[in-house]
Chain A
Amino acid sequence: MNLNTFLLALAGLVLAPLLGGLAAGVDRVVTARLQSRLGPPLLQPFFDVGKLMSKAIAPASHWQGLFVRWALAASLASDVLLAAGGDVLMCFFVQAASASFVALGAFCGSSPYSKLGAQRELFQLLAYEPVFLVAILCMAKAAGGFDAFSIMAAQGPLLLRLPLVVPGLVFVVLVKLRKSPFDIAASHHMHQEVVRGVYTDYAGRDFALLELAHWADVTVVLWICSFLWATGPLQMLATGLAFLFAALIIDNISARLTWRTMLKRTAPLTLILATANLVWLYLE
């Protein structure tokens, strides 16, 4: 590992959660404006996490602190992998490990809503993982390599050769951002049917760390989406923001679906589209 890779990895470690937090801030401002409200300041998510960090609350299970740390480590590791130009497929698997830890922590909780959220979280995982994986396989095939640097160095925008993976990636972003219609495992507002779902039993400092892990996840997902137009850093930023805005708008105009609809309709449909794109790349 040379110094350059090390610096890039370090930048990924520090910047990725910050970018994810900013995305959360943008989310809250834009959503408020869409609903004709003023909304909180851009940095509100950081203040929230800061306040959570200072709270000492009795845990719902002895195991949760452990799983939160593991989830955070996995989420940050996936960012670092991507920043250092590592294998995108492995980055995906590490990111999925983080989601597994969140679900495991919720399984260990005591609230029925937490366990319900864990079950649903797993079905979400089942719905978005295959299409996300196939989208990455498409990118790797189109760019000729599995590592982040070769995908970013691909000739021209990949979007033009991968139009059919876009619905799949939008689906992934909606699920990972926990946005309607796929905020099935955890809703943003606790007056709803699942309460806070998979997050119900996390509190205080554990929950703050989990929020950091979530930000890191959001960065990874949007970053991988931005590979679709990776001709320069600004274009990548614009692509990532485009996916974010698309998710926010869909969130504000749709209601929650059931996990059955997600698993029986959305997941197969997006997967078939992405697979068609993959096959088409092989026929080129």
Chain B
Amino acid sequence: MIEAYIGLLIFWPLAAGLACLGLRGPGARSALVLATGAVLAAGAVGLATQTPLALNPAFLSCATALHVAQAAAFLFPAYFLFQGIREKHGLVMLFASAQLALAAYGEFGLPAPRAAQDAVFCDGLALALVLVASLVGSLISIFALPYMQRHEEHLHLKTSRQPQFFLILLAFLGLMNGLALAGDLRLFAAFFEGTTLCSYLLIGHDRTAEAKKSALRALWMNCMGGMFLHAGILLAQKQFGLAGIRELASPALWAGATLLPLALILVAACVKAAQLPFQAWLLGAMVAPTPVSALLHSSTMVKVGVFVCLRLAPVLEGTTTGRILTLAGALTFLGASALALGQSNAKKILAYSTAANLGLIIACAGIGTPTAIAAGVVLLVIHAVTKGLLFLCVGDMEQTVGSRDLEDLRGILAKTPLTALAASAGAMAMILPPLGMLAGKWAALEAASASPAAMVMLAVGSALGVVCWVRFSGTLMGGVAVGPQPAHASGLTSGPILALLAGAVGLGMAAPWLNALLLPAGQGSPLAGGWGLLPPLFATAMLAWIAGLKVLGRQSLQPLAAPYVGGLPQARPGSFVGALGRNWTLSEGNEYAPELFGEAKLTRLAGALAIALLLALVGGALI
């Protein structure tokens, strides 16, 4: 029974995507995407009831499956190389060839490794990734249905390219599930490369010059990541003759051995997770339609990177490699938060904030204690839901207003109240106690007590994040209302937004229990100390919520006071008669402090520091 669930989780999305390609009608497509959502949700919940588990389902453990995975090690880089040659992109060619060479070496130069103990292996971490990919990913795919319709109307396409789009979108979800559950490194690597392929195709979907450029950038960076991953895997294979992820992630195996293979795999993970200095591919990804960026940022792709780090985290506890990884993660948290603060482009703010929060998770992985790992997994789940929500909201507002600049979204509360409020709530969920993101940050700060430098970077990054999100939320809610406009209302747009909003707040509140579930047994009651002080804070927050809403209800019936402008208000809103009888017109704008948070300068500085840390990560493991 459980094998059937796993089969559905991995292969159903691919089958449904192929069916989308065959049945090109929008009705059939909607039905298929909705059905995929239902199947994935059922499968993920079914899997959750059986976790933890280790299985050898025939379709993943048989010789054919491994042969397919080995063939994939050649096929994906070969396709990337082909794309590189076609687009005359040197870096893609270089890294794809390197991947091919490594695959050939692994196939013909090394003895075949012992097969993994379990082809499928699901613990709390894997389940978290499956739930995120299946639930959040499905909601984003559903949101994509009306969105892509409007998107193509806007582009005036002759033949719809939605069938291909949904094929890749859905297949991506299946690949993510496979990646989360794979117990064998060869299978894992095949799924890993599959996500690179999907992201390349999705980012380039619109086929504009900018989309092509961004897609190729994502491709070369992730090809490089793939090269590091393969190099790490082959080194580990050479060292231990193993191919099982579970065996590889046990600290006992590494006692006294060099951590170089892990360091290489961690660099690959940092590329996937868009850590500094590799954040450029994720920023480029925002040229794609909103559902793509939502998917890449929240539930797929970048989560692969943090998943790998958290998977290897038990080995990293107390090692030099772990300490350097903590510093690298904290540096990205700091640098990307500062970069986010200087942006007025709402999608760039989200992108930098994604890199920052993933940095926080990677810092948790570097610390490697059970408490830190549990905090990292909680952050992974809650970040996926919250960031998915924020992306969908920004995408919806962008389609309404025609701009993604925060200054143009000022006062959007009056135009699309539901989306604007959901976005505001999402922004608040990123920073407010006692919700999960803040709780995770707090736990990470206390867990990082072995590394003062990391703690200080986390402290500064945290303040930067608070300012960024309060300003984001305040800008959406403030501003002069331009009169309500009837917004396009589709249940398929508001449904996913509301579901994600409920998830962001609900999961945020459930963080202490999630955390307790994730901590290994035998640690006593994890709720007694630490996260146990959150539930009383929830009670306070609920009381404040009720009191606040009562006042809101009362005040919203009252007439508003005339704005204080330091002069005589005029009949025309937004202007007044000031000193010397002059007429003044009001205009507002946020201060982005470019001299402090300028993108070019900060990117160079933080990028250089990050490269130094990653070199130290690999070099430190060599010694």
Asked if B483 is an interface residue, CB under 8 A from chain A, the answer is: no
Q: Is the CB of B474 within 8 A of A108?
A: yes
Asked if A166 is an interface residue, CB under 8 A from chain B, the answer is: no
Instruction: Compute how far the CA of A61 lies from the CA of B554 in the bound complex, rounded to whole angstroms.
Output: 12
Asked if A271 is an interface residue, CB under 8 A from chain B, the answer is: yes
Please report which residues of chain A, range 236-284, place their CB below 8 angstroms from some CB of chain B when the two chains form the complex: 263-264, 271, 275, 278-279, 281-282
Please report which residues of chain B, range 457-508, place their CB below 8 angstroms from some CB of chain A when the two chains form the complex: 459-460, 462-464, 466-467, 470-471, 473-475, 477-478
Main secondary structure of the interface of A (DSSP, over half): helix
Q: Is the CB of A200 within 8 A of B533?
A: no
Q: Distance (Å) between the CB of B378 and the closest chain A CB? A: 16
B449 partner, pick from A60, A68, A141, A279, beta carbons under 8 A? A141
B432 nearest CB neighbor, chain A only: A97
Main secondary structure of the interface of B (DSSP, over half): helix
The contact size tier of chain A is 35 or more
B460: chain A residues at CB < 8 Å are 130, 271
Please report which residues of chain B, range 2-47, place their CB below 8 angstroms from some CB of chain A when the two chains form the complex: none
B565-597 vs A, CB cutoff 8 Å, 1 = contact: the mask equals 110000000000000000000101011010010
Instruction: Compute how far the CA of A133 lies from the CA of B561 in the bound complex, rounded to whole angstroms.
Output: 39
A58: chain B residues at CB < 8 Å are 558-561
A63: chain B residues at CB < 8 Å are 477, 552, 555
B459: chain A residues at CB < 8 Å are 129-130, 133-134, 137
Q: Is the CB of B544 within 8 A of A264?
A: no
Q: Is the CB of B478 within 8 A of A100?
A: no
Q: Is the CB of A93 within 8 A of B555?
A: no
Asked if A195 is an interface residue, CB under 8 A from chain B, the answer is: yes
| Interface 9-mer from B216-224, B273-281, B438-446 | B438-446
Asked if B543 is an interface residue, CB under 8 A from chain A, the answer is: yes
Instruction: Compute how far the CA of A77 lies from the CA of B591 in the bound complex, rounded to whole angstroms.
Output: 31
B471: chain A residues at CB < 8 Å are 107, 119, 122
Instruction: Compute how far the CA of A68 lies from the CA of B446 in the bound complex, rounded to whole angstroms.
Output: 30
B549: chain A residues at CB < 8 Å are 66
Instruction: Compute how far the CA of A64 lies from the CA of B551 in the bound complex, rounded to whole angstroms.
Output: 9
Please report which residues of chain B, range 503-551, place their CB below 8 angstroms from some CB of chain A when the two chains form the complex: 530, 533, 536-537, 540-541, 543-545, 547-549, 551
B591 partner, pick from A57, A123, A141, beta carbons under 8 A? A123
Instruction: Compute how far the CA of A133 lies from the CA of B462 in the bound complex, rounded to whole angstroms.
Output: 10
A114 nearest CB neighbor, chain B only: B564
- Given A97-B431, A104-B470, 4 more A-B residue pairs with CB atoms under 8 Å apart are A90-B433, A93-B433, A271-B460, A278-B452
A-B contact pairs, 24 of them (CB 8 A): A58-B561, A67-B548, A69-B547, A73-B544, A100-B431, A103-B474, A104-B477, A107-B474, A108-B478, A110-B563, A111-B564, A112-B586, A125-B470, A126-B466, A126-B467, A129-B466, A130-B459, A130-B460, A137-B456, A137-B459, A140-B449, A263-B593, A278-B456, A279-B452
Ordered nearest first, which 3 A-B pairs have the shortest CB separation? Answer: A107-B474, A73-B544, A65-B551
Interface residues of A (CB under 8 A from B): 1, 57-70, 72-74, 77, 81, 86-87, 89-90, 93-94, 96-97, 100, 103-104, 106-115, 118-119, 122-123, 125-126, 129-130, 133-134, 137, 140-141, 146, 195, 200-201, 203, 263-264, 271, 275, 278-279, 281-282
